[in-house]
Chains A and B, each alone.
Chain A
Amino acid sequence: MNMNYLEPQGRGAVRDWIFSTDHKRIGLLYLAVMTAMFWVAVLLGVLMRIEQLTMGPTIMTPATYNAMFTVHGVVMIFMFVVPGLPAVFGNFLLPIMIGAKDVSFPRINLLSWYFFIIGGALAVASLFLGAGAPDTGWTFYVPFSLRTGTNVSLAVFAAFLLGFSSILTGINFITTVHRMRAPGMSWHRMPLFVWALYSTAWIQVIATPVIGITLLLVILERSFGIGVFDPAKGGDPVLYQHLFWIYSHPAVYVMIVPAMGAISEIIPTFARRTIFGYKAIAYSSIAIAALGSLVWAHHMFTSGMGELANTVFSLLTFLVAVPSAIKVFNWTATLYKGSTKLEPPMLYALTFILLFSIGGLTGVMQGALALNVHLHDTYFIVGHFHYVMFGGTGFAFFAALLYWFPKMFGRTYDRRWAFAAWPPLFIGFNILYGSMLLLGLQGMPRRYFDHLPQYHVLHVAATAGSWIMVTGLAMLFTTLLRGLLKGSKAPADPWGGLTLEWTVSSPPPLENFEAIPTVDRAPYAYNPGRTS
């Protein structure tokens, strides 16, 4: 009998994991670190909300508040949302879904994880070492980031290393998809999650080096005063914003496109129906990757750019909504006349569609130049961003975890508790971030330590929402942890999925397949007679 990948491999418990080049183990290494970092960032977020519970100082100083939102952002963005679905589920599932035994470069895959944990450790260390925690926000905007005496260089270097991790993962995924597909796994028989990972990998490879060089320039400028961004030396601070957002806007799609891929797996499985518009969804991932790379300057409408640039980037921003809307339309159309079954993954996936739609539409609003001037740097942006990143990527991450948990760990979780965690999570989320949208419309600026009396009621509501939401989060993670430790054995295909990962045992064998499979049908061939 073929041993599964979780069984000891004879090098000792720790070495079996930290020196493993098995893509599945590496996926779980990412999951463990990311979960820990997620809770660190959640804690910082909750503390920030408690600070806003009263007017004036509540539990921290203004400088501490600045450090809190900076590290909350850096950790959440670079250590949870960006690597989120690609690093965990991409690593674990991509080779299995295309019928391969591993990724193309298993050792580089492990190296990528080492870059990730070293970068993460430095990001956390930047809180405690040197002249104080960084206080620039996660964007490290110049000229403030050049002048502040806090520990910006270390935090920037941490982000640089995390970027390297992302590039290596991207190269690995592109090569794997091109070179390691099983016989019969043509491009149009690939699961849509693989299409999403492939599109994302291109963004990672092309856009991430830009931020890498930019962050190095910030370090050089802080250390040697080279003057690229410093206006006092003839540099251009707006150039920094261009370079930062050339990566960081596509990075939003690194965060959301794999989430969309996971949703495209879950919906047809629980609708028991071939996905509506397979090719449209697949190519819309590519379109998002391409168009999403050309809209970065919509973050800079109030930064003093030329009018021509403002107009062009506004137009492009409206265009990028089209491929996203194609996906939403196709998911909804897939449900039509399906035999829909509401299991926990499906519930969280449907929640993704709603919350992502709110996040997406509030984003399109900001593409309008006139409105953008009013909303820029207000809580509206914070609310919009969290609807996309948490309501979108976060809920998709939970949906993916609930969907593939039995496959990854070979155990089931208590579905009643997974359902029970949803109401506080959903209600708390909307109170928290819905309040932020309203606060922003009323003019409350982001990143302020304190607030005026007219904003107080909504701030209190947002803080209460954060407590409700964290209760739901704790229930969900406890449910999964209990499933991991005490859950009953999971069958190979608990949900009736048709993609290749459901054809192998749970947890999967060490090398995934005893023999490389031959693929002779489309990935979601629930309808009789459909073979291509």
Chain B
Amino acid sequence: MTMDTSHPPAEPASYQTITTVWAALLVLTGLLVAASGVSPFWAVAAMLTLTPLKAGLVLYYFMHLKYEGPLIKGMVAIALTTLVIFIGMMFLDLAFR
């Protein structure tokens, strides 16, 4: 094989870290719910900022992206960057229609 097929050593996060992340997710969810009641602007703004943050935490800690090598991290980065470009280009239409 020309590629390194070994996985980096697993370093499972401590209970303290996992609990902290979980608590952060609960707080962020609370903020999202609260923002949705303020005004449509804040509801959308909160969704566009807090939801990716929550997804990032889940990816990074619960889906173990933190413990992966640069190849997997790079692939996830490509997918996420593409998603950001897709959404950004849709705003070319929605914002100037």
Contact = CB atoms under 8 A, between A and B. Distances in A.
Interface of A: 174, 178-186, 202, 205-206, 210, 238-239, 242, 246, 293-294, 297, 304-309, 312
A513 to B, nearest CB: 14
B86 interface: yes
Interface stretch (B16-24, B30-38, B54-62, B87-95): B87-95
29 contacts: A178-B3, A180-B1, A181-B1, A181-B2, A182-B2, A183-B2, A184-B2, A186-B2, A205-B79, A206-B78, A206-B79, A206-B82, A238-B93, A293-B86, A294-B89, A297-B93, A305-B93, A305-B97, A306-B92, A306-B93, A306-B94, A306-B95, A306-B97, A307-B96, A308-B93, A308-B96, A309-B92, A309-B93, A312-B92
A301 to B, nearest CB: 11
Interface SS majority for chain B: helix
B2 A185 contact: yes
B5 interface: yes
Contacts of B95: 306
Contacts of A210: 86
A174 B93 CA distance: 33
B76 to A, nearest CB: 11
B71 interface: yes
Interface size of B as a range: 10 to 19
A179 B97 contact: no
Contacts of B2: 181-186
Contacts of A242: 90, 93
Contacts of A186: 2
Contacts of B75: 174
A202 B78 CA distance: 10
A299 to B, nearest CB: 13
Nearest to A203: B82
A305 B89 CA distance: 12
Contacts of B85: 294
A306 B94 CA distance: 7
B63 to A, nearest CB: 15
B93 A179 contact: no
A179 B86 contact: no
B7 to A, nearest CB: 11
B1 A309 contact: no
Closest 7 CB pairs of A and B: A306-B96, A309-B93, A306-B97, A309-B92, A308-B96, A305-B93, A181-B2
A181 B3 contact: yes
A304 to B, nearest CB: 7
Contact of B1 (A179, A297, A307): A179
Contacts of B78: 202, 206
Nearest to A177: B3
Nearest to B82: A206
A206 B84 CA distance: 12
| Residue from the set B86, B89, B93, B94 with the largest chain A CB neighbour count within 10 Å | B93
Nearest to B81: A206
Nearest to B85: A294
Contacts of A181: 1-3
B86 A246 contact: yes
| Residue from the set A182, A186, A206 with the largest chain B CB neighbour count within 10 Å | A206
B5 to A, nearest CB: 5
Nearest to B5: A179
Given A304-B97, A305-B93, A178 B86 contact: no
Nearest to B95: A306
B88 to A, nearest CB: 10
Contact of A179 (B3, B89, B92, B96): B3
A178 B92 contact: no
A182 B1 CA distance: 5
